[in-house]
A and B are shown apart, each in its own frame.
Chain A
Amino acid sequence: MIKRLFYITLFGLLLSSCEEYYTPDLKSVPPILVVESHLTNDPNQNFVNLSMTKSFYATEASVPVVGAKVELIQFKEGIIKGIETSTGNFTFPSTPVSGEKYQLRITYLKDIYESDQVVMPPVPEIDSLYTKNDVVKSYRTNSSGPPTLIETPGRQICIDAPLSSELEYYRFTWKAVLQWVYNPPAFGGPPPPSWYGWKTLYQTGQFNLAGPKEFSISDKVSQHEVFWLSYNNQIYLDSVQQIPSGWIVTVNQYGITQKSHDFYEQLNKQFSAEGSLFDPVQNQIYGNLICKTDPTKIVLGFFDLNSYRQYRYYLYLGTGPDNQVNQHRITTIYEIPGQGYEIGFHPVFWEYNQ
Chain B
Amino acid sequence: MNNKFYFGFKKMIFIGVVMLFLNNPGTAQSIQERLINGKFQLTSLQDFFNTIGKEQGIHFYYRSDWIKPYMINLEFIDTPLIQVLNIIFDRKPLTFRFFQNNSVAVFPKGSDGKDLSGSDSPQILVIGNPLNEGRYATAQIKGKVLDGKSSEPLPGVIIFHRQTGTGTKTNPKGEYTLDLPTGDHTLQVSMMGYEELSQQIRLIENGSADFELFEESHTLNEVTITGDNSKASKAQMSMIKVSSRVIKELPVMMGEADVIKSIVMLPGVQSVGEMSSGFNVRGGNADQNLVLIEGAPVFNTSHLFGFFSMINPDAVKDVTLFKGGVPASYGERVSSIMDVALKEGNLQHLSIYGGIGLINSRLTMEGPFGKKSKSTFLVGGRTTYSDWMMKQSHNALFMNSVAHFYDVNATANIYLSEKSNLKLMGYISQDVFNLNSSSLYTYGNAIASANWKLNISKSLISNLNLSYSKYDFRLDQKDVSLPEDDYRLSTGLEYASTKYILSWLPNEKHRINTGFQVIGYKIKPGEISSVSEPTNIVPEKIPNEQSIELGLFADDDLNITEKTAVNIGMRYVRYMSMGPATVLKYDPNQTINSGSVIDSTVYKAGEVAKMYQGLEPRLSLKFNLTKGGSLRFSYQRIHQFMNQISNTSVISPVDFWKSSDEHVSPLISDQFAVGLFKNPLKGLFEASVEVYYKNLQNLLEYKNSAVLVMNHHIEADLIQANGYAYGLEVYAKKNSGRLNGWVSYTYSRTMRRTDNNFPEEVINAGNYYPSVYDRPHDLSTVMNYQISRRWRFSGNFVFMSGRPITLPEQKYDLDGRQVVYFSDRNKYRMPSYNRLDVSITLDENLRKRRMWKGSWTFSVYNLYGRKNPYSVFYRQDPSIQQIDRSQYAIYKLSIIGVPVPSITYNFKF
- Give me the interface of A with B, judged by CB distance under 8 Å: 2, 5-24, 26-27, 29, 31-32, 34, 36, 38, 51-56, 58, 62, 138-139, 141, 145-147, 204-205, 207, 213-218, 222-223, 225, 262, 266-267, 270-286, 295-296, 300-302
Alpha-carbon distance between A301 and B814 when the two chains are bound, in angstroms: 8
Please name all residues of chain A whose beta carbon is closer than 8 Å to the beta carbon of B901 when the two chains form the complex.
5, 8-9, 12
- The answer on a CB contact under 8 Å between B903 and A19 is no
Residue of chain B at shortest CB distance from A144:
B394
Closest to B872 in A: A22
Of all chain A residues, which has the CB nearest B488? A215
Assess whether B833 is interfacial by the CB under 8 Å rule: no
Q: A275 contacts B902, CB within 8 Å?
A: no
Assess whether B647 is interfacial by the CB under 8 Å rule.
Answer: yes
A32 & B254 in contact (Cβ 8 Å cutoff): no
Are A145 and B809 in contact, with the CB atoms below 8 A?
no
Would you call A271 and B876 a contact (CB within 8 A)?
yes
Q: B814–A275 contact, CB under 8 A?
A: no
Inside 8 A of B759's CB, which chain A residues have their CB?
A: 295
Tell me the complex Cα distance, A113–B326, Å.
54
Shortest Cβ distance from residue A259 to the other chain B in the assembled complex, whole angstroms? 11
Could you give, for residues 865-909 of chain B, a 1 whenever the CB lies within 8 Å of some chain A CB and a 0 otherwise?
001011111111000010001001111111111111111000000
Which residues of B have CB within 8 Å of A205?
876, 885
Given contacts A22-B890, A147-B395, A270-B820, contact A53 B390 (CB under 8 A): no
Contacts of A29 in B (CB 8 A): 809-810, 823
Q: Which residues of A contact B808 (CB under 8 A)?
A: 56
30 contacts between A and B (CB under 8 A): A5-B901, A6-B358, A6-B903, A11-B394, A12-B899, A15-B898, A21-B889, A24-B890, A27-B827, A34-B812, A51-B812, A54-B812, A139-B396, A215-B538, A216-B537, A225-B481, A266-B705, A267-B814, A271-B817, A271-B876, A274-B875, A277-B305, A280-B647, A281-B772, A281-B806, A282-B873, A283-B705, A284-B704, A284-B822, A295-B759
Per-position 1/0 for B636-656, Cβ under 8 A of A? 000000000001111010100
The reply to whether A56 and B897 form a contact with Cβ atoms under 8 Å apart is no
- Contact check, A17 vs B893: say whether CB atoms are below 8 A apart: yes
**Chain A residues, Cβ within 8 Å of B692:** none
The reply to whether A36 and B813 contact each other, CB–CB distance below 8 Å, is: yes
Task: Identify the closest chain B residue to A57 (Cβ).
Answer: B811
- Binary interface profile of B, 801-831, with partner A (CB < 8 Å = 1, else 0)? 0000011111111110101111100011000
List B contacts of A12 (CB < 8 A).
898-901
Give the size of the chain B interface in residues (CB under 8 angstroms).
85
Q: Which residues of A contact B482 (CB under 8 A)?
A: 222-223
Contact A270 B890 (CB under 8 A): no
Nearest Cβ on chain A to B286's Cβ, whole angstroms = 13
Q: Which of chain A's residues have a CB closer than 8 A to the CB of B873?
A: 273-275, 279, 282
Does B392 lie at the interface of the complex (its beta carbon under 8 Å from any beta carbon of A)?
yes
Chain B residues with CB under 8 Å of chain A are 253-254, 275, 305-306, 358, 389-390, 392-396, 398-399, 435, 479, 481-482, 484-485, 487, 528, 536-538, 540, 647-650, 652, 654, 702, 704-705, 710, 759, 765, 772, 806-815, 817, 819-823, 827-828, 867, 869-876, 881, 885, 888-903
A296 nearest CB neighbor, chain B only: B765
Which residues of chain A are near B705, meaning CB under 8 Å? 262, 266, 283, 285
- In Å, the complex CA distance between A283 and B708 comes to 14
Closest B residue, CB atoms, query A224: B481
Name the one of A6, A62, A145, A286 contacting B812, with C-beta atoms under 8 angstroms.
Answer: A62
Say yes or no: A24-B903 contact (C-beta < 8 A), given A273-B875, A278-B648: no
Report yes or no: B358 in contact with A9, Cβ–Cβ below 8 A: yes
- CB-CB under 8 A from A267, the residues of chain B are 814, 817, 819
Whether the Cβ atoms of B652 and A53 lie closer than 8 Å is no
Compute how far the CA of A285 lies from the CA of B398 in the bound complex, rounded to whole angstroms. 32
A21 touches B890 (CB 8 A): yes
Alpha-carbon gap, A205 to B893, bound state (A): 21
Bound Cα distance from A26 to B810, whole angstroms? 9
- Write the nearest CB–CB distance from B406 to chain A, whole angstroms: 20
Q: How distant is A204 from chain B, measured CB to nearest CB, in Å?
A: 5
Set of chain A residues within 8 Å of B822, measured between Cβ atoms: 282-284
**Cα(A24)–Cα(B808), bound, Å:** 10
Query: Could you tell me if A34 and B890 are in contact, using CB atoms closer than 8 angstroms?
Result: no
- Expressed in whole angstroms, the Cα–Cα distance for A302 and B901 within the complex equals 52
- The interface residues of chain B lying within 8 Å CB-to-CB of A16 are 894-898, 900
> How far does the Cβ of A114 sit from chain B's closest Cβ, in whole Å?
15
B819 touches A270 (CB 8 A): yes
* A141→B394 contact, CB < 8 A: yes
A-B pairs, top 8 by smallest CB distance, nearest first, are A139-B396, A22-B892, A275-B873, A53-B810, A275-B893, A278-B652, A216-B536, A275-B871
Q: Identify which of A20, A270, A272, A276 contacts B892 (C-beta below 8 A).
A: A20
Determine if B358 and A10 form an interchain contact, defined as CB atoms under 8 angstroms apart.
yes
Contacts of A21 in B (CB 8 A): 889-892
Q: B254 to chain A: which residues have CB within 8 Å? A: 9, 13
Which residues of B are found within 8 Å of A145, using beta-carbon distances?
394
Q: What is the bound-complex CA distance between A141 and B647, given in angstroms?
A: 34
- Output the nearest chain B residue to A55 by Cβ-Cβ distance: B810
B898 — which chain A residues lie within 8 A by C-beta? 12, 15-16
In the bound complex, what is the Cα–Cα distance between A275 and B876 (angstroms)? Answer: 12
User: Which chain B residue lies CB-closest to A10?
Assistant: B389
A17 in contact with B897 (CB, 8 Å): yes
Q: Which A residues lie within 8 Å of B398 (CB)?
A: 14
Residues of B within 8 A of A300 (CB): 812, 819, 821
Min CB gap A54→B, angstroms: 6
A8 to B540, CA, bound (A): 48
